[in-house]
């Protein structure tokens, strides 16, 4: 009888395990936030909280003014980058496996905006997945929950993908056969693995990884790798990173204080003690900082986030240095004299040509 009872318990337990998707094995990719194959390009004040890698290409541009936050490093076609690209192939193939072991595949194509999806394997075999402007896709589960999205062609996120119920960005995986696009100001979570390229529009934030076989393009983005997948039911500690530390007077600024770990959803963000530069404002719901600075100077502050437990995490090492744009010097007296002489010579040449033409 005891054996029968044990068998029944095991059967129920095994069914429960079978219903759960396993995380995609990342190996060395765990420490990477950005990885490209041909090029990695940034415009503006991008902040990468994780290793940045490129292989086999050699062109990484935009750093600085973009920043790879210490202790993370930039790796261009070195052993770390070469290994990371090999691990990306392994991870991509694992995520793309038809009917991965665990929960059965669920066909989910087109616009995902407005949906609340439990953990599982979601498949768009030969088409797209997207989240439209102003729309939100919610992933609801606990710290162990895993989402794997298999996108047959392209992924476009113009709105927001958010986590609730304690779900972790480290347990969300997007396998995209072609290219992924995150629109300006979009909010994204999870590890994106693209067979071609990944493009992030101005101010888009990614709590996850941008891993591409070809190009990664960024514009004033905040990207943070969320650590290894959670499998033991205990989420990592709540942390918050600083927004970009450099701004320019009169130039639109967009960045974010990025939260990872803890118990999702994140309830609120704040800047205290300290203040942002004049002209910048914090979105207390998302952690996004935007605006146009008006005054040069240094603005130190502490970034804070509160999760739904509630627990609060703080980072007191944040600051934004606003610099004045260089002024265009007025022409010197000598330059003005030379310009005048050139005009006189040009006028004289024109007059001579007209006289010659008149004689003809």
Full pLDDT tens readout for the chain, 360 residues: 333 333 333 333 333 444 689 999 999 999 999 999 999 999 999 999 999 999 999 999 999 999 999 999 999 999 999 999 999 999 999 999 998 988 999 999 999 999 999 999 999 998 999 999 999 999 999 999 999 999 999 999 999 999 999 999 999 999 999 999 999 999 999 999 999 999 999 999 999 999 999 999 999 999 999 999 999 889 999 999 999 999 999 999 999 999 999 999 999 999 999 999 999 999 999 999 999 999 999 999 999 999 999 999 999 999 999 999 776 555 555 555 455 555 545 555 555 544 545 544
> 194 and 38 in contact (C-beta within 8 Å)?
no
Extents of the domains making up the chain: 26-224, 239-323
Instruction: Say how many residues make up the chain.
Output: 360
Conformational region of residue 355, where left means phi above 0, alpha means psi within -120 to 50, and beta covers everything else: alpha
Instruction: Enter the tokens of residue 163.
Output: 């986590």
> 256 and 59 in contact (C-beta within 8 Å)?
no
Whole-number Å distance between alpha carbons of 301 and 274: 4
Residue 274's CB: how many other CB atoms inside 10 A?
Answer: 14
> 92 and 121 in contact (C-beta within 8 Å)?
no
Beta-bridge partners for 107 = 123
Beta-bridge partners for 207 = 189, 224
Whole-number Å distance between alpha carbons of 274 and 336: 48
Encode burial over 158-169: b for 16+ CB neighbours within 10 A, e otherwise.
bbbbbbebbbbb
What pLDDT score does 5 carry? Answer: 38
What pLDDT score does 349 carry? Answer: 54
What pLDDT score does 116 carry? Answer: 98
- Within the chain, where are the H helices? 2-18, 79-95, 333-359
Residue 302's CB: how many other CB atoms inside 10 A?
Answer: 16
> 131 and 159 in contact (C-beta within 8 Å)?
yes
Instruction: Enter the tokens of residue 194.
Output: 């693209």
Based on its alpha-carbon atoms, the radius of gyration of the chain, rounded to whole angstroms, reads 26
> 216 and 260 in contact (C-beta within 8 Å)?
no
Whole-number Å distance between alpha carbons of 22 and 102: 7
What pLDDT score does 233 carry? Answer: 86
Tell which CATH architecture fits domain 239-323.
Sandwich (2.60)
Whole-number Å distance between alpha carbons of 114 and 135: 6
Quickly tell me which residue has 């639109």 as its tokens: 252
């Amino acid at each position: 009888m005891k054996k029968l009872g044990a068998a029944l318990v095991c059967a129920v337990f095994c069914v429960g395990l079978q219903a759960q998707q396993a995380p995609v094995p990342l190996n060395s990719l765990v420490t990477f936030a950005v990885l490209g194959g041909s090029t990695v390009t940034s415009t503006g004040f991008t902040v990468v909280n994780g290793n940045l890698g490129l292989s086999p290409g050699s062109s990484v541009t935009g750093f600085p003014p973009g920043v790879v936050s210490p202790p993370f490093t930039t790796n261009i076609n070195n052993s770390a980058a070469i290994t990371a690209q090999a691990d990306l192939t392994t991870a991509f193939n694992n995520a793309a496996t038809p009917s991965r072991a665990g929960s059965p595949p669920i066909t989910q194509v087109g616009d995902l905006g407005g949906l609340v999806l439990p953990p599982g394997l979601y498949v768009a075999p030969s088409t797209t997945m997207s989240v439209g402007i102003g729309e939100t896709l919610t992933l609801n589960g606990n710290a162990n929950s895993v989402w794997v999205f298999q996108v047959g062609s392209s992924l476009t996120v113009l709105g927001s993908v958010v986590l609730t119920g304690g779900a972790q960005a480290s347990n969300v995986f997007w396998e995209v056969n072609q290219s992924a696009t995150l629109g300006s100001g979009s909010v994204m979570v999870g590890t994106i693995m693209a067979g071609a390229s990944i493009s992030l529009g101005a101010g888009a934030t990614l709590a996850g990884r941008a891993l591409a076989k070809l190009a990664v393009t960024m514009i004033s983005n905040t990207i943070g790798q969320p650590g290894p997948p959670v499998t033991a039911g205990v989420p990592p500690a709540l942390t918050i990173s600083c927004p970009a530390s450099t701004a320019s007077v009169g130039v639109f600024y967009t960045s974010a204080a990025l939260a990872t770990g803890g118990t999702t959803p994140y309830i609120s963000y704040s800047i205290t003690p300290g203040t942002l530069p004049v002209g910048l404002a914090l979105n207390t719901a998302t952690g996004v900082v935007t605006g146009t600075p008006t005054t040069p100077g240094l603005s130190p502050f502490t970034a804070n986030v509160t999760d739904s437990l509630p627990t609060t995490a703080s980072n007191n090492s944040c600051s934004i240095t606003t610099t004045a744009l260089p002024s265009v010097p007025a022409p010197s007296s000598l330059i003005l004299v030379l310009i005048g002489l050139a005009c006189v010579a040009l006028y004289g040449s024109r007059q001579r040509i007209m006289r010659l033409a008149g004689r003809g």
